[in-house]
Amino acid sequence: MAYTVHTDADRRALLEVVGLPDVEALFAAIPPQLRIRGLDLPPGLCETEARARVEELASLDQPAGPASFLGAGYYRHFVPATVRALISRGEFATAYTPYQAEVSQGTLQHIFEFQTCICELCGLEVANASLYDGPSALAEAAFMATRLSHHETILVSAGIHAQAAQVVATYASGPGITVERLALDDESGRTTIGEAGAVAGAAAILVQQPNCLGVVEDLEALAESAHEAGALLVVSVNPAVLGVLEAPGVLGADIVVGDAQVFGCAPSFGGPSAGFLACKEAYLRQVPGRLVGQTLDADGRVCYALTLQAREQHIRRAKATSNICSNQALSALAATIHLALLGPRGLRERGEICLARAHYLHRALCSLPGVRPYVSAPFFHEFAIALPLPADDFVAAMRAKGIDPGVPLATMERGARAVMPATGNGPLTPAGNVLIVAVTEVNPPGTLDRYVETAAEIVDSALPGAGSRREGRPR
């Protein structure tokens, strides 16, 4: 029998605090077919029998293959075997967070290299040692902006993924920071500032690049609007696009955050990965988390040390720059190794392949009857299409034929509480027939063709007599 520390009275008290009647309601967001009520092991099994049963259950998992086009924040990219081989070495896999720098030089060095990679990608002078993930990094950046600007209002673009916006709103609810939503333009899908003065008194504008519809935002225009009003521009970027797109810092972003999962880490049901935060040097003292600096020891040798922050500052409650006192060093190391293997040329080539394949699939799908682009602005490797049938029905039909075609836009919003009022187009007012499709280098051209052929059959069944057209394949 398993032992748990919580009594029935403890559980009742916890449920009462969150306002739920029972444990079933706590897990209601998880589809019933995905819930496992224990391992269902018969009594009296020996170790080999128990192992065989557990392996049988584990075999029911269906890892995503080349016919998966899921995205919406976590993406499948090819990870060279070298990455896993190196981070599995004992000195990396067992190392803990470097409280005592004199015995952690290797850990400190690879964190310093990670910081250097992030600075180069983001076009900014300073980066931290990593944070838990992209959404928490975004929330930390919002808090950082309020400290720097001495304002208590944050403007969050509707183009930020609903779950990430929920994290920001949850963080902000504690100190009473006001969170307001900026709409997306109905036609282009880009963030709109609205009438003059809409940014006045705000600490920061938070946007995502590319946004949750896959659209490439006009960061220069957003930075100009933010700075004219005395606000900061915070950009949550997918770093995989930065081999092709210009660095947000070069375009005027003051703070850039994101998730390094796209380098070295599989989606793995949402983690682990490593969040990052980069900023201008002028904001150095307000950076959350850890910073590693490079210096010389007494003998003139290069060495590394935690700098500018004491561990104790993270537990000083309101006076601390953050409640984060750890970092995701192993995932950050995986990202650093992967980036080193790619190099600038490899990063660009990978981005160009993703870009070409996504645009090929988009053109081919939009040539089918009743399928059209949801918005008009340029996109990178993720895009939104409007279907002639409910997106949920389309997804079910495609999955029955072995293809995971993407994420219904409505599902993205259903996965998070409505924490801010809906305004304008975008994920807060989703159409039930809109699908978000992500394409990366792991989706080969033949699989793209199979996607289009299968989608054509499903669309034809929804609109009898419709035909389809095809275009040339990408590399």
Beta carbons of 268 and 261 less than 8 angstroms apart: no
Q: Is residue 18 part of a domain?
A: no
Q: 253 and 158 share a domain?
A: yes
Closest C-alpha among 171, 120, 119, 142 to residue 288: 142
**Bridging pattern class, strands 204-209 and 255-259:** unpaired
Beta carbons of 181 and 206 less than 8 angstroms apart: no
Report pLDDT digits (tens) over 45-66: 899 998 998 888 888 877 778 8
Structural domain for 213, as ranges: 81-335
Q: Is residue 166 part of a domain?
A: yes
Residues of the chain with pLDDT under 70: 1-4, 37, 95-103, 196-197, 310-319, 323, 325-326, 414-431, 464-475
Residue 359 has phi, psi (to 5 degrees) of -70, -35
Joined tokens for residue 438: 């992500």
Q: 329 and 219 share a domain?
A: yes
C-alpha span between 368 and 466 (Å, rounded): 8
Q: 293 and 348 share a domain?
A: no
Q: Is residue 471 part of a domain?
A: no
Q: 102 and 229 share a domain?
A: yes
Q: Is residue 429 part of a domain?
A: yes
Look at residues 335, 363, 384 and tell me which one is the last residue of a structural domain.
335
Joined tokens for residue 220: 């220069």
Q: Is residue 368 part of a domain?
A: yes
Q: Is residue 63 part of a domain?
A: no
Place of tokens 């080193």: 340
Joined tokens for residue 176: 């009473």
Structurally, how many domains does the chain consist of?
Answer: 2
Beta carbons of 234 and 253 less than 8 angstroms apart: yes
Q: 163 and 289 share a domain?
A: yes
**Tell me, what's the pLDDT at 114?**
96
**Tell me, what's the pLDDT at 264?**
93
Q: Is residue 407 part of a domain?
A: yes
Identify any residues that bridge with 437 across adjacent strands, giving them in sequence order.
383
**Tell me, what's the pLDDT at 95?**
62
Q: How far apart are the first and last CA of the chain?
A: 56
Cα 157 to chain center, whole Å?
A: 15
Q: 189 and 237 share a domain?
A: yes
C-alpha span between 158 and 194 (Å, rounded): 13
Beta carbons of 231 and 207 less than 8 angstroms apart: no
Q: 220 and 163 share a domain?
A: yes
- The residue type found at 451 is Y
Look at residues 283, 313, 335 and tell me which one is the last residue of a structural domain.
335
Burial class (CB in 10 A: 0-12, 13-18, 19+), 468: middle
Q: Count of CB atoms within 10 A of residue 422's CB?
A: 15
**Tell me, what's the pLDDT at 42?**
82
Q: 348 and 331 share a domain?
A: no
Look at residues 275, 309, 335 and tell me which one is the last residue of a structural domain.
335
C-alpha span between 224 and 115 (Å, rounded): 27
C-alpha span between 471 and 475 (Å, rounded): 13
Beta carbons of 67 and 451 less than 8 angstroms apart: yes
Helix or strand or coil: residue 256?
strand
- The residue type found at 340 is A
C-alpha span between 193 and 182 (Å, rounded): 7
Q: 383 and 264 share a domain?
A: no
Q: 231 and 141 share a domain?
A: yes
Report how far apart, in Å, the C-alpha atoms of 105 and of each of 47, 97, 130, 302 are. 42, 12, 17, 10
Beta carbons of 292 and 108 less than 8 angstroms apart: yes
Q: Count of CB atoms within 10 A of residue 178's CB?
A: 14
Q: Is residue 468 part of a domain?
A: no
Beta carbons of 179 and 156 less than 8 angstroms apart: yes
Q: For 404, which DSSP code?
A: B
Cα 354 to chain center, whole Å?
A: 17
**Tell me, what's the pLDDT at 412?**
80
Q: 313 and 411 share a domain?
A: no
**Tell me, what's the pLDDT at 452?**
97
Q: 184 and 286 share a domain?
A: yes
Run of H or E residues at 151: none
Closest C-alpha among 273, 162, 172, 280 to residue 223: 280
Burial class (CB in 10 A: 0-12, 13-18, 19+), 390: middle
Instruction: Give the CATH number for residue 173.
Output: 3.40.640.10
Instruction: Give the CATH number for residue 410.
Output: 3.90.1150.10
C-alpha span between 394 and 374 (Å, rounded): 16
